[in-house]
Amino acid sequence: MGMLKMSARSNGVSVFVRTRPSVNFAQDLIEYLPDQKTINIHMKKDTRNVVNNQQSDWAFKMDGVLHNVSQSHVYDMTAKNVVLRALDGYNGTVMCYGQTGAGKTYTMTGATENYKQRGIIPRALQQIFRETEERSEQAFTVWISFLEIYNETLFDLLSTLPDADSRDSQMTIVDDGNGVRVKGLSVHLTNNEEEALNLLFEGETNRIIASHALNKNSSRSHCILTVYIESRSRTLSNAKYVTSKLNLVDLAGSERLGKTGSEGQVLREAMYINKSLSFLEQAIIALADHRRDHIPFRQSKLTYALKDSLGGNCNTVLVANIYEEAAQIEETLSTLRFATRMKCVQTEPAVNEHIDPVLQVKKLEMEIRQLKNELAIHDSLANRSLVSYDAMSDTQIADINFQVHRYLEGTTDEIEIVNIRQIQEVFAQFKVVLHQQEQEIEAKIRQKYTLIDRSDSAAIAAAVKAGHPVDMVGEVDGQGFGIGVAPSAAKHGGSSIISAKKAKIKKGKEMISPGRKDGLVSPGDGKEVEMGSLSKMYQLVSSTKDLESKEHDVHSIESHRSESACKDDHSRPNSPPPKSEAFEDFKSERGSEINRILKENKSILLEKRKKVKELMDIINYTKEEIDSTKQALLAKKQDRQLQGEYVNEEGETVIDEEEFDLIMKLKELKACYRSNYDELRNTKAEDQYCQRLVEQCRSRLLREFESWYNESYLIPEEVQNALRDRGSIRPGMMPLNRVLALEEDEQERFERLHQELLSSSPGSISFYNAHMRTQQRKHYFRAMSQAQPQRKTARVIIPQVKNKPPSILLSS
């Protein structure tokens, strides 16, 4: 039972009734039940004004009825826990409500001249400082403010103190998300109980002085003494700290306007009091109603100031002060009703926890230090002695840069992985080196050539006019930049100056095909190097003074020449071999491994194809058999029906042996069909898989070949040298456009197409066969036109084979 009540109390506002003892106790009207929680009110029937349905008996159940008890007992029952919880970081409010003279001030402040009769506030202050001394692991800081609200005006009861700097400023209540506070209200740091009590008495005195000076009735104002508590762990590493606010509230008298019969200032005061108390009541009704999400706190200064102290995350206690006399019974009843409403307000007390950013940083720094130490231990256990987890120094970065250079040169095979930071730096240095190389190449080229922006037609025209040979080089899909080498025609004094338009070459792969249809291309235009990441497109103009010395190079790297356009072709020893020839060389040398795998995969693919074909044949045959068997059965049946059926005793149709055999055969055929069909499906899947492998191998082979071919024949020697100085040209680093389309073997392609068609629509096979033949014819002519006699270059650069192609294995 007790437990239940405790939990009920912690979920709502705790409400107590305290009585002011009287010699004229209205024992007929007021009844205290022995449970010390219930108070019954019995109203005498008003004989002058009989109303039948008027209720005359009430029972009010509270958390406690404090009748004839000591101040100490009142404190223990009402405030003690709230204060303890405030020290733990929960906001708390203890509030006295009741008509003037019912004992609110006596309960809250008590008799200031009598220690034994001191009230809740001095006892709370005492408990706070005693507790803070006991909780030695925490460092507490306590501040106090004392606010009076009179006729909707805020007064700072501690403003006369020297450190109250806000005397002149207008006080306002603000809600800045961290709770409500009164801007301009002085808040006083308090080190011990005595200092705190001084503040309380100072405030009380100010209250009395002000009431005389302003001719106001002090029982008509609300007083809120607030204790602010901050608690931090004495452990420096703990960045968390908690704060709380304890409001001790002595409300103005709750007596109703009608009864006081006041006028003038008294009337106005009464109006304000009534207003703010009725707003308090409205706020409380709203708080008690779970469906309401808007609480009208801002209707009055009182409710606004108490916004975060009435419900919500606050421990709230209400003490309802009542007279015991018959004359006050109506006010008593009204006070008890208010108390009952207050009891319905739900609260969810929560600790106000904060994190100190400065301490948090310190704490994290310490944690990082510890983790680094731990990593160091791990590293030493793993025999990795020189690992640092700090940011890279310039020396370390330079070292990584050096390693990257060595790696690109091929003087080292791998860069050892140390940690994530180092890996990231390695990537960064790759970028740096790449960028450097691009710039160096461009600089080298610029030494020999004048580069004109491709789009700068005026500059091109000027160059042409000045008699420079202009060589327009391949347009590489709108990106990258082509390097052309000046045509030798300049030397021959031929008409080598060509317009950019004429020289425009559509695709890299056309460059080595001899004998252009349009015949407009200048001889010697065939060298093309795609510099992938150089962003500008340039046109190259060789300066005449360079021409003679460059002539040899030009010849050596020219890819092809048109016989008709250049008569002294044979004098040039260094034209690259046709790709078809080079490809054969490649396959037997550097590309042998990948070529072998390709061949292997091809043969496996071929087997699969053969099997597919076989299965298809079987299936087709079975299908035909099924059809003819069905036909035969149908004929049998018709026969049977024509001749009249034999029916045995059980009424079953009797069939002859021949028909029976046919039925069995059909059954077998169907089973055969199904099993072969399943196998076909599986084999086809394997076939497709092999097909992909073959394609992969083939494109790998072609890629490797491209790099090899480019490096061996197409990259101008000076560029090669420029790159070789750094030693960092690698296969695949400077991919040329595909110059030659090494197409998939036509027969294979046909086979594949055939496979695809075979099962779906056999009727279309002839169409596709015809299509295939046309393709083959086209291909043949293209191959013939490329097969012009070419001399193989004398200068063959064999690049280092750094990357062996990975073996592609078939899972059978």
* From 9, 20, 181, 363, residue interacting with ligand ADP (rule: CB under 6 A): 20
Q: Give yes or no for residue 514 binding ligand ADP (CB under 6 A).
A: no
Contact between 203 and ligand ADP by CB under 6 A: the answer reads no
What are the distances in angstroms from CA 161 to CA 45, 141, 187? 55, 20, 10
Query: 100 vs 244, which CB is nearer to Mg ion?
Result: 100
159-188 positions binding ligand ADP, by CB under 6 A: none
CA 206 to chain CA mean position, Å: 58
- Minimum Å distance from CB 20 to ligand ADP? 4
Residues in the chain: 812
Per-position x/- string for 175-214, each x denoting binding to Mg ion as judged by CB under 5 A, each - no binding: ----------------------------------------
Q: Any contact of residue 515 with ligand ADP (CB under 6 A)?
A: no
User: Binding string to ligand ADP for residues 253 to 272, with x set by CB under 6 A, is what?
Assistant: x-------------------
Cβ proximity to ligand ADP: between 236 and 257 the closer is 257
Residue with smaller CB distance to ligand ADP, 120 or 287: 120
- Helix (H, G, I), strand (E, B), or coil: what is residue 575? coil
Nearest in space to 355 (alpha carbons), one of 494, 242, 273, 450: 242
- Provide CB contacts within 8 A for 427, sequence distance 6+: none
Report which residue's Cβ sits closest to ligand ADP. 103
- Determine, following the binding rule CB under 6 A, whether residue 218 of this chain makes contact with ligand ADP: no
- Selected from 14, 78, 91, 105, the binder of ligand ADP by CB under 6 A is 105
Of ligand ADP, Mg ion, none, which one does residue 98 interact with (CB within 5 to 8 Å by kind)?
A: ligand ADP
Q: How far is the CB of 80 from Mg ion (least distance, A)?
A: 22
Q: Tell whether residue 104 is a contact of ligand ADP (CB under 6 A).
A: yes
Partner that binds at residue 793, options ligand ADP, Mg ion, none, CB closer than 5 to 8 Å by kind: none
Joined tokens for residue 22: 């009287």
Q: Please report whether residue 328 would count as binding ligand ADP according to CB under 6 A.
A: no
Site string for ligand ADP, 81-100 (x = CB under 6 A): -----------------x-x
H or E element, residue 229: strand 222-233
801 with 589: CB under 8 angstroms? no
Give me 786's structure tokens. Answer: 């490329």
Regarding 709 and contact with ligand ADP (CB under 6 A), the answer is no
698 closest CA partner among 595, 779, 582, 811: 595
How many C-beta atoms lie closer than 10 Å to residue 151's C-beta?
Answer: 18
Is 127 a binding residue for ligand ADP by CB under 6 A? The answer is no
Smallest distance from Mg ion to CB 251, Å = 9
Contact between 252 and 97 under an 8 Å Cβ cutoff? The reply is: no
Q: Which of the ranges 179-187, 216-224, 435-443, 546-554 carries the binding residues for Mg ion, by CB under 5 A?
A: 216-224
Contact 97, 251 (CB under 8 A): yes
- Residue 764 is which amino acid? S
Pairing of the two strands 449-453 and 240-250: unpaired
**How is residue 559 written in tokens?**
């890819």
Based on the shown chain and the rule CB under 5 A, indicate whether residue 219 belongs to the binding site for Mg ion: yes
Which is closer to ligand ADP, CB of 220 or CB of 301? 220
Taking CB under 6 A as the criterion, the residue among 12, 64, 92, 103 binding ligand ADP is: 103
Task: State yes or no: residue 550 binds ligand ADP (CB under 6 A).
Answer: no
Judged by DSSP in three states, 537 sits in: coil
Around Cβ 195, how many Cβ atoms within 10 Å? 15
Select 219 or 720, whichever has its Cβ closest to Mg ion: 219
Closest CA to 676 of 614, 758, 628: 614
Residue 267 DSSP SS3: helix
Q: Quick check: helix, strand or coil at residue 525? A: coil
Locate 795 and state its tokens: 């200068």
> What residues make contact with ligand ADP under the rule CB under 6 A?
20-21, 98, 100-106, 219, 253, 321
> What residues make contact with Mg ion under the rule CB under 5 A?
104-105, 219
